[in-house]
Amino acid sequence: MNIKKALSLALACTMALSLAACGSGNSAPSTSASSGASSGASAPITLKVAYADAEDSVFGKGVSAFSEKLDELSGGTMTCQIFANGTLGSINEVAQMLQNGTCDVSPIVTSSLTGSCSDLGVFDLPFLFKDYDEARTALNGDAGTYLADKLAGSQLHVASWMTMGFREVTSKKAINAVSDFKGMKIRTQSNEVHMDIFNTLGASATAVSFSELYTALEQGTVDGQENPYVNILSNAYYDVNGYLVETNHVFQVAALLISQGTYDKLSDEQKSWVDEAAAYAADVEWDATQTDNEAAKESLVKDHGMTFVTLDHDELVNATASVYDDYAEQYGALVDMIRG
């Protein structure tokens, strides 16, 4: 009888260990403590990270920094499996995967997240920020906290705020003053506020998908477009547009998002590692965005022969002031919060 009891106990222990080992995998994070409390040694976790841009993009640099720092802080117990270039799906598809827990981490621009949090549309307003420092201060303040709390309700945890910098204009025609926008067809994202900005300037805002933009410029479907300098360079819009117009009309905000389901399963210690790695990644990404955009601007002019124009900032601000009136009811309180 005693021998049978001993054998039964040994078998039970062996099955328990086998089940624990089978519980971890790459499709979803595996944690050592479902309660979220730190419990010493943790089971290895692999986070699935996806984004639409190239590996050498500013998002790619931010993701690499996050992965490296997380590996370092966790002693190799938390690692990242990275899918760049949209290989795991489109931006909208990845956002949905974050919400249902089939992807763990992704940097996504806020203009693609308004379906989950309509208040994020405030960042599409023209000339909301004058520079990078002002934008980052606001994002790390009350407004950033408020918007992060709103996204958490959609199962999206904001690990840190990122950016792609200011959006600028390219054109096949000279634009030397605000009046020169009149009658021009300018491609924008399918974004109501962005379209209102250019319609207010006198242009005809035209929504064209990013994948079709080069062809639309080449065939004359649109006369110009707007994007950060890094996107203008990487997509060779200099081949089809000769003028580079610095407008700084929208500051493109992004977030390093973690599936709320993934984050909630982590222990307190694991969360602290993720939080620190995300903060470090944001520092790297913001610096890269500023540096890479300046380098891209210089290359577009010196290496690719674009004619560079800087429009009068005050004239642009005054010309688009009515956009704020149009969205005062929707975003007015948030604008006040952002501007303190």
The three-state secondary structure class of 207 is: strand
Residue type, 200: T
The reply to whether 10 falls in a domain is no
What is the spatial distance between Cα 187 and Cα 147, in angstroms, rounded to a whole number? 28
125-163 pLDDT tens trace: 999 999 999 999 999 999 999 999 999 999 999 999 999
Number of domains in the chain: 1
Predicted local distance difference test score (pLDDT) of residue 38: 38
Exposure b/e, 41-73, CB count within 10 A at least 16 = b = ebeebbbbbbbbbeeebbbbbbbbbbbebbbeb
- Is-contact 201 318, C-beta < 8 A? no
Residue type, 55: E
| HSE of 57, CA atoms in CB hemisphere, 13 A | 25
Q: How far is CA 93 from CA 86, 96, 214, in A?
A: 10, 5, 23
The reply to whether 245 falls in a domain is yes
| Contacts with 217 (C-beta within 8 Å, 6 or more apart), sequence order | 172, 187, 224, 225, 237, 240, 241
Residue type, 269: E
> What are phi and psi for residue 56, nearest 5 degrees?
-95, 10
The reply to whether 24 falls in a domain is no
The CATH number assigned to the domain holding 194 equals 3.40.190.170
The reply to whether 38 falls in a domain is no
247-300 pLDDT tens trace: 999 999 999 999 999 999 999 999 999 999 999 999 999 999 999 999 999 999
The reply to whether 300 falls in a domain is yes
Residue numbers of the domain that contains 100: 43-339
The reply to whether 156 falls in a domain is yes
What is the spatial distance between Cα 95 and Cα 115, in angstroms, rounded to a whole number? 10
The reply to whether 304 falls in a domain is yes
Predicted local distance difference test score (pLDDT) of residue 43: 87
Q: Which residues of the chain have pLDDT under 70?
A: 1-42
Tokens of 115: 């379906």
| Contacts with 86 (C-beta within 8 Å, 6 or more apart), sequence order | 51, 52
The reply to whether 204 falls in a domain is yes
